Chain A
Amino acid sequence: MSVAAERLQLPFARPNVLDLAPLYEVLRREAPITPVTTPAGDPAWLVTRFEEVRDLLSDKRLGRSHPEPERASRITTAAVQDGPTGNYETEEADHARMRRLLTPAFSAKRMRMLSDYMQQLVDGYVDQLLVEYADATDGVVDLHTGLAFPLPVAVICRLLGVPESDTVYFHSLSERMASLGTGDDAHQAREEFNRYMIGLVETKRPDLGEDVISDLIRAQSADETFDYGEMVRLCVGLLFAGHETTVNRIGLGALFLLTHRDQWEALTADPVGRVNATVEEIMRLGAPGDLGLLRYAHTDLDVAGATIRRGDAVILSINAANRDASVYSDAETFDPDRPERTHLGFGHGSHFCIGASLARTELRVVFTTLARRLPGLRLAKELDELEVRPTLTGGVTSLPVTW
């Protein structure tokens, strides 16, 4: 167990935005649960093998809260996934209420009903890209600012009932919150985001509409155990998770497809037939961010030869699990035709992503439309030349393409 002899320091440097550090492969084989030092300098366990990651994601002995929060390991200096969240005593009940309130609004059926709206949006963005392309002397346009970014933002604004004119502001707050830089700017940004959300909530209150934030305001005023601050945190979390993650995934998906020309051509030949499998493969291999899902042990537990103590931080690397060679054949290869159809890209168990149907619907619309309307699409820069965002959620800052 050579690798486990010393505590490894997270994050592990990655070769580029698509590939993971080769060290993960060694860890999965030799030390699937290994002690690490977090970016914030505290001890934690890193779990890298599919089986253990999946099992621990559905294990009720771990949670997001900590029995003694002030003693908990800190993970990052950002203001998301930085440490324990929620109240140890009421975590389960609070979480159950959150799921009950939000699940119906993001159900598969409702998201399907939105797909015509998404299609109109995407067609509009592609029309605009065509105009920009005609005007660009070098024939290069940016798929990030032209499509990957505006689509998820427009959709989440509509669902949540947030004015789209606030985009620049809440996006800059999100970036600062997830920033891995030092200092406490990330936490100031979270404070500002909270204040912004309180302002929005109070503006909406006299005239509630048919949107998720209005629903949460109604639910909070009808339930005295539903704390105002918790409702605000939830709204901030939705606006953050609802755009950051999907923007990145569209960008990574385009990069996987455009650096695997055969897969792109297969998709352009049969967009509707191939899009679902293509999107699932993008979900499996796309690995923004270099950490994982965060939990704290609520009791002592033995897993794969390691003894995790009550209160220990556990980082579940879904990125590593999704490339586990004991589960996936040619695990590192982008191959939508692979026989294995599951992945942990949206998590697993009770915290499984609430926005999964939304994100999938958006990704499907984006990639069928690009394949249909811009079949000659290609990258205008090398993969290594693309700038990666220095945030917890990763992704690229621009995606120059041509056709």
Chain B
Amino acid sequence: MKVTVDQGKCVGSGQCVLAADDVFDQRDEDGIVTLLDADPPAGRLTDVRHAALVCPASAIIVEE
């Protein structure tokens, strides 16, 4: 699967990190999202989709 994040939209809520901390992280200096894994294994789909769903800024896009 392919994951992209829009750092310009991100509001630093950390919801994605709570959902999948192997795929998303937050920058230490401002809490903005960073991708740890832009191509996570298929088994992570549920959690990554969940992250995209709960992101309050709609900043995460997942393509299967």
Task: Kindly supply a per-residue 1/0 record for chain B positions 27-59, scoring 1 wherever the CB is within 8 Å of any chain A CB and 0 otherwise.
Answer: 111111000000000000000001001101110
CA A313 to CA B2, docked complex, whole Å = 42
Indicate if B18 sits at the interface (CB-CB under 8 A).
Answer: yes
**B11 cross-chain contacts in A, Cβ below 8 A:** 99, 103, 349-350, 352
Q: Are A58 and B50 in contact (CB under 8 A)?
A: no
Stretch at the interface among A187-195, A252-260, A264-272, A340-348: A340-348
- The SS class assigned to the A binding surface is helix
A107 touches B14 (CB 8 A): yes
Are B14's CB and A108's CB within 8 A? yes
Q: Which of B26, B27, B57 contacts A349 (CB 8 A)?
A: B57
- Give the contact-size bracket for chain B: 20 to 34
A356 CA to B15 CA in the complex, in Å?
A: 8
- The distance in angstroms between the C-alpha atoms of A357 and B56, with both chains bound, is 13
Q: Is the interface of B mostly helix, strand, loop or mixed?
A: loop
Q: Are A356 and B30 in contact (CB under 8 A)?
A: no
What separation, in Å, do the CA atoms of A100 and B12 have in the docked complex?
9
Cα–Cα distance between A18 and B62 once the two chains are bound (Å): 36
A356 and B13 form a contact (CB under 8 A): yes
Indicate if the CB atoms of B50 and A341 lie closer than 8 Å. Answer: yes
A74-117 at interface with B (beta carbon < 8 Å): 99-100, 103-104, 106-109, 111
- Contact of B54 (CB < 8 Å), options: A103, A104, A341: A341
What is the CA–CA distance of A342 and B54 in the complex, to the nearest angstrom?
A: 6
A378 within 8 A of B: no
Interface centre among A103, A353, A356, A357 (most CB of B within 10 A): A103
Say whether B31 contacts A104, CB under 8 Å: yes
- Are B17 and A104 in contact, with the CB atoms below 8 A? no
> Is A360 part of the contact surface with B, judged by Cβ < 8 Å?
yes
Identify A99's interface contact among B12, B14, B25, CB under 8 A: B12
Complex contacts, B50 vs chain A, CB 8 Å: 341
Number of interface residues of A (CB under 8 A): 22
- State whether A350 and B57 are in contact (beta carbons under 8 Å apart), knowing that A108-B21, A356-B14 are contacts in the complex: yes
Q: Which residues of A contact B27 (CB under 8 A)?
A: 104
**A401, chain B: closest CB distance, angstroms:** 29
Are the C-beta atoms of A103 and B12 separated by less than 8 Å? yes
Find out whether the CB atom of B57 lies under 8 angstroms from the CB atom of A109.
no
**B8 to chain A: closest CB distance in Å?**
12
How far is B34's CA from A104's CA once the two chains are assembled, in angstroms? 13
Most buried by B among A108, A342, A350, A360: A108
Give the docked Cα–Cα distance between A329 and B1 (Å). Answer: 30
Complex contacts, B12 vs chain A, CB 8 Å: 99, 103-104, 107
Instruction: List, in ascending order, chain A residues with CB within 8 A of B30's CB.
Output: 100, 103-104
A349 to B54, CA, bound (A): 11
What residues of chain B lie closer than 8 Å to A357, measured between beta carbons?
13-14, 17-18
Nearest A residue to B28, CB-CB:
A104
Q: Does the CB pair A342–B14 fall under 8 Å? A: no
- Check A58–B57 contact: CB distance below 8 A: yes
**In the complex, A356 Cα to B18 Cα: how many Å?**
10
Q: Could you list 22 A-B pairs, sorted by A, with CB under 8 Å?
A: A58-B58, A99-B11, A100-B30, A103-B11, A103-B12, A104-B28, A104-B29, A106-B14, A106-B31, A107-B12, A107-B14, A107-B26, A108-B18, A109-B26, A342-B53, A342-B54, A347-B56, A349-B56, A350-B11, A350-B57, A352-B13, A357-B13
Known: A108-B15, A352-B15, A360-B18. 12 other contacts (CB 8 A): A58-B57, A100-B30, A103-B31, A103-B32, A107-B14, A108-B14, A109-B17, A109-B26, A341-B53, A349-B56, A349-B57, A356-B13
What is B's interface to A at a CB cutoff of 8 Å?
Answer: 11-15, 17-18, 21, 25-32, 50, 53-54, 56-58
Task: List the 4 closest pairs (A to B, CB-CB), nearest first.
Answer: A103-B31, A108-B14, A103-B12, A108-B17
